[in-house]
Structure 1
Amino acid sequence: MSFRDAIDNFYERLVVDAIDATREPGDTADFLTDVMCVALNRLPSRYYRHTIDMMFYLADEELRGMKDKSLAAVQGAREFVREHKRE
């Protein structure tokens, strides 16, 4: 395993969860991938090496805030992608 494979961005997990929570009939994989990219570009990076470290050291209030930011970013990204649909 490469050292590059040893880190992740915690917001990726939160954005996936927010996408799952806001999924609508007719959402395609291509649309959701665009939504994920736009949403992640609107959020800060929060890298971690071990999931247990992130969960242990993250205060409940901070996690709730990160989840709220992720949901708002996904909702905004859904609108943005709809308005800028590739033809």
Structure 2
Amino acid sequence: MTLDDDIHNYYEHLILERIQTLKLDKTKSPDYLADLCCLSLNQVPPRYIRFEVDMAFYLPQNERQQMEMNVVHAIEKAQKFLDQKKDNED
């Protein structure tokens, strides 16, 4: 068994989904997106899973909504930080 192939943090999926919803993957650089992901993931608790389907069947709806709200807030906070950092560099 290799850990990196079998186990992952479900929040990674939610963060990437939110980035696509906001179309940031179309408007921001790969470096910005990498920083955004790291900053956002560091703000949410890890939720490790083996299979995506497990979360679909066993995660209560209210917990899923809370996780999505956590992602919204984490990305907003990370964007503000990155945008302020960029403004200060200019």
Judge same fold: TM > 0.5, yes or no.
Answer: yes
State the partner residue of 1:28.
Answer: 29
Q: What is the RMSD computed on CA atoms of the aligned residues?
A: 1.9
CA drift at 1:21? 2.0
Give the structure with the larger helix fraction: 2
Cα deviation, 1:4-48, whole Å, max 9, x if unaligned, reads 310010000001111122235641111111111000001100000
State the partner residue of 1:16.
Answer: 16
How far apart, CA to CA, are the structure 1 residues paired with 2:76 and 2:48?
Answer: 23
State the partner residue of 1:83.
Answer: 84
Task: Report SS of the residue matched to 1:84.
Answer: helix
What is the identity, as a one-letter code, of the residue corresponding to 1:19? I
Cα deviation, 1:39-86, whole Å, max 9, x if unaligned, reads 000110000011111211101111111011101101110111112239
- Percent identical residues: 34
2:2 paired with 1:2 = yes
How far apart, CA to CA, are the structure 1 residues paired with 2:30 and 2:39?
Answer: 14
2:31 paired with 1:48 = no
2:62 paired with 1:65 = no
TM-score by length of 1: 0.86
TM-score by length of 2: 0.83
Report how many residues are paired: 87
Structure 1 regions of 5+ residues with no counterpart?
A: none
